[in-house]
Amino acid sequence: MATLRTMTKHLTTALLAAGLSFAAATAAATAEDKPTDTRVYELRTYHAEPGKLDALMARFRDHTTRLFAKHGMTNIAYWVPVDNKDNLLIYLLAYPDRAARDASWAKFQADEDWKKVAAASEKDGRLVNKADQLFLTATDFSQGFSAAGDGSERLFEMRTYTTPAGKLAALHSRFRDHTRGLFSHHGITNLGYFQPLAGQPAAGETLLYFLAHKDAAAAQKSWDAFRADPAWLAVKQASEDAAGSSLTVPDGVKSVFLKPTDFSPVK
């Protein structure tokens, strides 16, 4: 019996080691292939007035995205939440740096074409009740945004983690060395990983990232497999032991499933 227990323990250890090695190797290979992304990103969330989301999306589709590009902004992606009871449009832009961002927006807002578009679209009332913005920088392990290999539309997931004070670097290390590789192993596509720029809310305690799934059923299957993976459980336990606590605060993990708009560059 003792021999059987010993053999089982050794086998479990070997399987965990293989899983961890796979994840680390996958993450390392990706990091080596990706140039450093030094751009400033802006995540913008528009709360459309009741009944005005379609009109807001039409304005972006027909005019706004083109005018953004005209003034040096890079359109990354546009989404609406799958459960969109708050009438949200969420989008991500990129700029060479913060100064370029401010210059681009100043030119955009002064553009006579934009003024005409805005006036025409709001002749029956404003389209946006409130706009939120968050400035971000890519982590060194961010994989960026790419199209699906077969060109199909995917289900996106935006996840936000809040850490206890001083634990963000440990969370980054876990993602850099293990989590992303395990995500890939279970069929989850890693996209952009970000942290808020200094001066933004919870800048030193937030990791915000995007994933892609084939569809809702695939997302559920992938997450179930990932959460039950002995390699993940070992990584999670080891990282928390090393940090002396959980790497996220209570209720510190938020997830929103998103679907791309028809005018989003990334689908």
CATH number of 9-36+140-260: 3.30.70.100
Side-chain half-sphere exposure of 233, counting CA atoms within 13 A:
10
pLDDT per position as a tens digit, 212-246: 999 999 999 999 999 999 999 999 999 999 999 99
Instruction: Compute the C-alpha angle 24/238/250, nearest 5°.
Output: 110
9: confidence class by pLDDT, cuts 50, 70, 90? very low
Domain ranges of the chain: 9-36+140-260, 40-135
- Asked: is 40-135 a CATH 3.30.70.100 domain? The reply is yes
pLDDT per position as a tens digit, 38-49: 999 999 999 999
Same fold, 9-36+140-260 and 40-135: yes
Sequential DSSP letters for 86-99: T-EEEEEEEESSHH
Whether the model clears a pTM of 0.85, i.e. scores above it, the answer is yes
* Helix residue ranges per DSSP H, the chain: 2-33, 53-59, 65-70, 98-110, 112-121, 168-174, 180-185, 216-228, 230-243
What 8-state DSSP symbol labels residue 203?
G
Assess contact for 167 and 207: CB atoms under 8 A: no
Confidence (pLDDT) at 182: 98
